[in-house]
Amino acid sequence: MVLAAAVFWLVIWQIVAMLVGQEIIIASPLRVVQVLAKLVVTASFWTVAATTAWHIVVGFLIAVAAGTILAWMASPNRWVAALIGPPLRAMRSVPVVSFIILLLIWGGSAWLSGAVAALMVTPVVFDNVAQGLARVPVELREMTRVFAVPRLRAWRGVTAPAVMPYLIAACQTGVGLAWKAGVSAEVIGLPTGTIGERLNTAKLYLATGDLFAWTVVIVVLGLLTERLVVWALGRAEHAFEHSFQGTAQPRHPARSVPPPRHPARSEAESQDLPSSPINVHNVTVAYGSHVVLDRVSCDVPDGGVLRVAGPNGAGKSTLLKIVLGLVKPISGEISGVTGRRAAAVFQENRLCPWLGAIGNLRLVVPALTRDDAETQLVSLGLAPGDLTRPVRQLSGGQQRRVAIARALAAPADVVCLDEPFTGIDAAGIDDVIAQLKARLQGKTVLLVTHDDAQAAAFEGQILRLR
């Protein structure tokens, strides 16, 4: 389809050129091909094309780096955003010719095209990356906080993959803008040995064929640059998505599948962990004028289970979020959670959709080997062929099993389960309950479920909210 459209417009171009009959006004496609054939066999052509490409590509890459860094700095800090706002607005609104003249006055024409390209592309990259950062799901940010994922690891697993599509879109737009602005700067500044200089020469001698030929070169170089940049960013995106898969270790033929296990915990580490009960005393939580929890109190003994029951909207999930540190009460206090490692099966799955099931486990548990991650996931009913596919391609029930496996794999002392069996088929619930009971022994558990039969499988205290 694309080739047919291109041929159609080439035919139209040829017909118009033949009707006009004056090459000085419009050169035909055949004439442009003839000029290009003569140019590409000369050493000067490649030198000129390489010089312009080098300057513009360097300016473009500087813009990508600057726009990305500035967006990252401004994202969490309003003062930084306010400070860099005026220069960015100037880059967007000031005519490119004004920048070209100023740069000629200040620094000459040698790197004029690269500097202009950088000035034009930086705001584009900044806007897109800032938009991407603003749209990183809050649920995933909270998930990394609950599981205490290190900042750099959270950036690799959550933030960078979420922002990458926005950066790719910015680069696709920015490449064309960089070439247009950069060549325009060369035409005005006339740096020696550049495409802009050759275009100006073609204008002076009314060599329309040369003008069209160099224009074709600019278009081709711009397309090649775009393809290379998008390919490189695509490879980076692929690397982010697969960086947590790990390397499978060959199993001994006679070796049976080992039972799921947690990373080893040192004796010193175990002694440092607090063992006090969780105490919630007269806690009140409100969202605006709507009171969700009103002076709620409860105690969860260390290693015990608290089953939270109540109708929809009673604040069951909110109570778990208080324990996890995601919500702060407006009054009351909670003790026994500071310094304790937590894990959760959230009401939503809160999985990284670009990572596979193994990647989602190893994101929060770096010490977990790929083989152990596979074992834990398979034991919860996932097929081996589904473990490396992005979880967005899995069914709701499969995703729920991944979320449960992640909570069980984490070396946590407090585990919050918010409707953990949502989406799991009736035939598989009993097995999942059995695994949860076996592997949560000795841990402090808060369980929310609307199903009384499922809750009854876990022995412990009951807190009924109204």
pLDDT at 249 (0 to 100): 56
Helix 29-40 / helix 2-20 crossing angle, nearest 10 deg: 100
- Whether 332 and 282 have beta carbons less than 8 Å apart is answered as yes
Residue 239 neighbours by CB under 8 Å, 6+ apart: none
- The residue-averaged pLDDT of 59-79 equals 94
pLDDT at 325 (0 to 100): 93
> Among 109-113, 277-281, 449-453, whose mean pLDDT is lowest?
449-453
Is the pLDDT at 410 greater than 60? The verdict is yes
Is the pLDDT at 38 greater than 50? The verdict is yes
Domain boundaries, the chain: 25-242, 277-464
At 23, the pLDDT band (50, 70, 90 cuts) reads: confident
- The residue-averaged pLDDT of 346-360 equals 95
Is the pLDDT at 464 greater than 50? The verdict is yes
pLDDT in tens, 292-306: 999 999 999 999 999
- The residue-averaged pLDDT of 140-167 equals 95
pTM here is: 0.86
Hey, what CATH class is 277-464 in? Answer: alpha beta
**Quick one: CA dihedral 289, 293, 296, 302, positive or negative?**
negative
Q: Mean pLDDT in the chain?
A: 90
Is the pLDDT at 124 greater than 60? The verdict is yes
CATH number for the region 25-242 comes to 1.10.3720.10
**Quick one: CA dihedral 105, 109, 113, 117, positive or negative?**
negative
Is the pLDDT at 444 greater than 50? The verdict is yes
- Whether 361 and 376 have beta carbons less than 8 Å apart is answered as yes
Helix H segments across 41-77?
43-74
pLDDT at 296 (0 to 100): 94
Per DSSP, 257 falls in state P
Is the pLDDT at 261 greater than 50? The verdict is no
- The residue-averaged pLDDT of 73-89 equals 91
Cα–Cα distance measured from residue 439 to residue 393, given in angstroms and rounded to the nearest whole number: 28
pLDDT at 209 (0 to 100): 93
Is the pLDDT at 251 greater than 80? The verdict is no
pLDDT at 266 (0 to 100): 40
Is the pLDDT at 271 greater than 70? The verdict is no
pLDDT at 259 (0 to 100): 43
**Quick one: CA dihedral 372, 376, 377, 378, positive or negative?**
positive
- The residue-averaged pLDDT of 370-379 equals 94
Is the pLDDT at 250 greater than 80? The verdict is no
Structure-token match 């619930």, residue found: 429
- The residue-averaged pLDDT of 275-299 equals 90
Q: How many CA atoms lie within 13 A of 210 on its CB side?
A: 15
Is the pLDDT at 355 greater than 70? The verdict is yes
Phi, psi of 289 (to 5 degrees): -90, -5
Higher pLDDT, 240 or 56: 56
Is the pLDDT at 416 greater than 50? The verdict is yes
- Whether 229 and 171 have beta carbons less than 8 Å apart is answered as yes
Percent of the chain with pLDDT over 70: 94
pLDDT in tens, 42-55: 999 999 999 999 99
pLDDT in tens, 202-247: 999 889 999 999 999 999 999 999 999 999 999 998 888 788 887 6
At 384, the pLDDT band (50, 70, 90 cuts) reads: very high
Asked if the domains at 25-242 and 277-464 fall in one CATH topology, the answer is no
Residue 114 neighbours by CB under 8 Å, 6+ apart: 55, 56, 58, 59, 62, 182
Cα–Cα distance measured from residue 318 to residue 326, given in angstroms and rounded to the nearest whole number: 9
At 98, the pLDDT band (50, 70, 90 cuts) reads: very high
> Which residues are paired to 84 by β-bridges?
none
At 63, the pLDDT band (50, 70, 90 cuts) reads: very high
- Whether 248 and 371 have beta carbons less than 8 Å apart is answered as yes
> Which residues are paired to 415 by β-bridges?
343, 445
- The residue-averaged pLDDT of 370-397 equals 94
